[in-house]
A and B are shown apart, each in its own frame.
Chain A
Amino acid sequence: MNRKLLPSLLILGLSAPVLASDDWGDDSWGEEESASPQWHGFVETAVGGRVQDDPALPDEDLTLADLRAQLEYADYLGDSRYSIKADLYADGVEHGLHGELREALIDMSLSDNVDLRLGQQVLTWGTGDLLFINDMFPKDWVSYFAGRDDQYLKAPSASAKLSYYHDRANLDLVWTPVFTSDLFIDGERFSYFNAMAGQQTSMHLIPDQPDKGLDNGELALRLHGQTDGTEWALYGYRGYWKQPNAMSTGGQVYFSRLNTVGASVRGNFGGGIANAELGWYDGEDSDGSNPRLPNDQLRVLLGFERELIPKLTASAQYYLEWTQDHAALAANDGNSPYRPDEKRHLWTLRLTYRAMQDNLILSWFNYWSPSDQDMFMRPSMTYRVDDSTAVVVGANLFSGEQAHTFFGQFEDASSVYARVRYSF
């Protein structure tokens, strides 16, 4: 084959079907989108591999190998909207065909100012950018580390969300009857540092779940409003730590009780957007002396985002995780070399550059902790070929001075990935 012909063929193949004129070539005006039930979704293929071997997972070079289809259907039943969004994917890393119900919900208005959303749903609130203080809804860290689409960082839960709206303030109440933990790093796809063994392990982490029962569900609430464009919110949560960071005397990991309260503000500031959020994490170990239970924490976040030059936006966040009663922990943990610092300082930086009429997006996001001396870098490049096809390449790169720190333990999880998606 003529070598010069190949690139031009590729370009032709990738080009969108050219529309004959300004007309859309169909009568999309004629049919109103919401008038009839809608099927939508995408098919996607994604691969990712480690940039270095993980001695704890010697046979696992791949970190991502998905062949995925997402189907979504939504319609109205009277004035109530219902929607179903389901993923089916063949996973070449955790071997097998998996299904995930992302959404199966019904949206109802109980009165002019009361809404109820019932069912499997993804929930988000709070002001952090990839940092969460008062958002206690489940997250999927495995997907996040593997380089799946950002939407998979938020895992769904079967919940009831009741919202009350008023001129002055609005109230959201979310009840999740069965505790839904994060999808945490459990040794299957990525190894983790085991402080008891003092080494990296891929031992499958299977924590005890709280008993199912009315008292063991999760309750989250948010009171929020807006004053002159500045959004404020107060938060509360009753449930469990979303990661299994408690251990029984027998050595079994489990989710311990957690209540949180917090607040946030967000608004225009200095030509950009500023936000501040704090949260008080109140666990079972009130005096901090039990090393098998997480201590109470104060978490603080400050953020600022603005456009630097046209098409280039930058944002920075400072985050503090302040472990309370640190002296009591230090006195009781057998002088553990893996004891977390009293204050974990973390900075994030995000740079987003949009080019080619927004079809090419270069993104850089990194976490950097001067106290843990570790880092997590997330560069990515998204290219929108046309209205249905998009290609993403990126990397998740961890580095750290010590083997046990938050990001440092995942050094061997560093990977590069690529995804191609066709949406319809």
Chain B
Amino acid sequence: MRNLMRAAVAALSLTAASFTAAADLTDVNTIVEQANLAAYYKGNDGRSEARMVITDAQGRQQTRQFTILRHDEADGGDQNFLVAFSRPADVRNTVFMVAKHTQSDDDRWLYLPSLDLVKRISAGDKRTSFVGSHYFYEDVSGRNISEDEHRLLETTAEHYIVENTPKDPASVEFSRYKVWIDKNNMLPVKIEYTDDADKLYRRVEVLAVEDVQGHPTVTKSRVSDLISGGFTTMEFRFLKYDIGLDESVFTERSLRKLPRNWLRRPKS
């Protein structure tokens, strides 16, 4: 009887062990693809309100508030973003729109309401400050995973740790970055950027994750400039996935005339 019990326990633990082993991904490209989907492709579309507090090296603070609409043409593929600013006063009603392409350069526009001007922004400066914050444009819409080589450095109890090096080093300011991916929900929860001198100079970290319609979703994060000491904290609220956005929302029409029905906070 005792032997039987022992055998049963052994069998159970074996099952558990093999289950864990099966859950651990080993192919780095699969890990990176899943993390990309988890971070940027939840649902077919989504709406969120966001606000940022930008703290500079001297401790002075500025704020930005905006609503984001997102629409996926295909999971892991092309996406559309519309970002409508409501604060502060000097950027109010400014609209930023991106058609993100995985196979070619993104198309990006900025609408300046006081001039009724639809300005095109070049795809080259994706790694510059997003409206004065420590976030880059690319942090908001997602970096194309095919632009980096990926290497699985370590699999811990909680994280996959992936090192990424750019295929075109001249196009970026980092020499590599390390990403900690939460094994439970595949969300990247920490990213650390290293420069050419092998110095750690930038960190992105997730501060809060909430469940939204069954999708684990980052609701608070921070980017820190480790050289100057400045940082930006971004919070998302009133998130909703699958609200039924289609491509026609992401056109010049919406820049000049805000799509109020989609930007409006959902009732439930």
Residue ranges of A at the interface with B (Cβ–Cβ < 8 Å): 15-16, 18-19, 22, 24, 28-29, 32-35, 40-42, 76, 79, 81, 107, 115, 117, 121-125, 150-151, 153-154, 163, 165, 167, 170, 224, 226, 229, 231, 266-268, 271-273, 275, 305-307, 310-311, 313, 354, 356-359, 384, 386-388, 390, 423-424
Contacts and interface: CB of A to CB of B under 8 A. Distances in A.
Which 10 pairs show the lowest CB-CB distances between chains A and B?
Answer: A423-B89, A358-B132, A387-B88, A151-B114, A229-B107, A307-B125, A33-B86, A124-B116, A272-B122, A268-B105
Given A150-B115, A310-B128, A357-B132, 16 more contacts: A15-B58, A19-B61, A24-B51, A29-B237, A81-B260, A121-B116, A123-B116, A151-B114, A154-B115, A170-B251, A170-B253, A268-B107, A268-B122, A272-B122, A358-B132, A387-B87
B117 A124 contact: yes
B190 interface: no
B61 A357 contact: no
25 contacts: A18-B60, A19-B63, A22-B53, A24-B63, A42-B89, A122-B114, A124-B116, A124-B117, A124-B118, A151-B115, A167-B248, A170-B252, A224-B252, A229-B101, A231-B120, A268-B107, A271-B124, A310-B125, A357-B56, A384-B132, A386-B62, A387-B90, A388-B88, A390-B90, A423-B89
Contact of A272 (B54, B124, B128): B124
A392 B32 CA distance: 45
B175 interface: no
Contacts of B122: 268, 271-273, 305-307, 313
Question: Which of A33, A107, A124 counts the most chain B CB atoms within 10 A?
Answer: A33
B131 A358 contact: yes
Q: Is the interface of B mostly helix, strand, loop or mixed?
A: mixed
B233 A34 contact: no
B251 to A, nearest CB: 7
Contacts of B107: 229, 267-268
A310 B63 contact: no
Nearest to A129: B119
A223 B22 CA distance: 57
B121 to A, nearest CB: 7
Contacts of A16: 60-62
A151 B237 CA distance: 33
Nearest to A149: B114
Contacts of B49: 29
B47 interface: no
Nearest to A152: B114
Interface in B132-160: 132-134
Contacts of A81: 257, 260
Nearest to A421: B90
B125 A163 contact: no
B174 to A, nearest CB: 12
B221 to A, nearest CB: 11
Interface in B227-242: 230, 233, 235, 237-238
A24 B116 contact: no
Given A151-B115, A170-B253, A273 B62 contact: no
B129 interface: yes
B244 interface: no
A268 B128 CA distance: 18
A323 B44 CA distance: 54
A109 to B, nearest CB: 8
Contacts of B214: none
B99 interface: yes
A41 B61 CA distance: 22
A359 B101 CA distance: 30
Nearest to A266: B120
A229 to B, nearest CB: 4
A357 B124 contact: no
B195 interface: no
B203 interface: no
Contacts of A32: 264-265
A120 to B, nearest CB: 12
A273 B120 contact: yes
